[in-house]
Amino acid sequence: MIMNVTAIIPAYNEEKHIGNVLSAVCSVDLIDQIIVVSDGSTDNTVDIAKSFDIDVIELNKNCGKGFAMKTGLYNARSSTILFLDADLKGLEPNHVENLLIPVYLDKVDMTLGILNSGRSATDLAQKITPFLTGQRAIKRYILDDVLDNQWCDDFGIELMLTRCAREKKLRILEVPLKNVSHAMKEEKMGLTRGVAARFKMYWEIAREFNKK
């Protein structure tokens, strides 16, 4: 099976997790370009990413998840785009393939990866708000259509992408990612900084939700 796929992975201080994510993604033959966009990381995220045979883009400061994704998109060569978070736990090559194949077969225009059976907190969040997942495959032309006039540079990006897909009446498929979870902000940053980062994320999502 030959696809034309670029995987874009925005990352901010993910030295503990990005290696495992990249190991899984690099094992998928369907992908011919992998881009990690370091969103102003100050840890070893960049060095770990560069140890793989992939493209690594370093932003000088933290510009937001959506901005990092947009930067990756501007450097992508492919007709199908795969977005993945850098802090996933339990990601395996078959999870990635399950996201890509329905788009390749033209059964859908976009897949949403729903974390499943990984841990109760992330499972519940995904069940309540599956449209906020950072794991998705989507046809490039759809992204190009919204890139310059509707794009969101922060954590509201997932909501924006899903809203645009629904407005365009695209075919969307939710794909369970069994035994996959992600690291909580409180685990990565400590309780105080993690809670602050979580509320900032919620605020950015709410701001995007209130846009008309």
What is the CATH class of 5-184?
A: alpha beta
Residues paired with residue 136 on neighbouring β-strands, in sequence order = 83, 112
Rounded CA gap, 165 and 109, in Å? Answer: 9
Residue that is written with structure tokens 């560069």 in the block: 50
**Tokens matching residue 65:** 């998840």
pLDDT at 151: 80
- What would the pLDDT profile of 155-209 be if each residue is shown by its tens digit? 788 888 888 888 888 999 999 999 998 776 556 655 566 545 555 555 555 565 5
Distances from the Cα of 16 to the Cα of 22, 80, 130, 183, angstroms:
12, 28, 25, 10
pLDDT at 152: 79
Rounded CA gap, 5 and 8, in Å? Answer: 10
The answer, yes or no, to whether residue 62 has pLDDT greater than 80, is yes
pLDDT at 99: 97
pLDDT at 128: 47
Mean pLDDT value across residues 41-65: 96
- What would the pLDDT profile of 4-28 be if each residue is shown by its tens digit? 999 999 999 999 999 999 999 999 9
pTM: 0.84
- What would the pLDDT profile of 107-163 be if each residue is shown by its tens digit? 999 999 998 765 555 544 545 455 678 999 999 998 988 776 678 777 788 888 888
Where in 91-188 does DSSP place strands (E)?
A: 110-116, 136-139, 172-178, 181-182
pLDDT at 108: 96
Rounded CA gap, 80 and 197, in Å? Answer: 31
Rounded CA gap, 104 and 187, in Å? Answer: 36
Q: Are 169 and 109 in contact (CB under 8 A)?
A: no
Torsion, CA 67, CA 69, CA 71, CA 76, rounded to 10: -160
The answer, yes or no, to whether residue 80 has pLDDT greater than 90, is yes
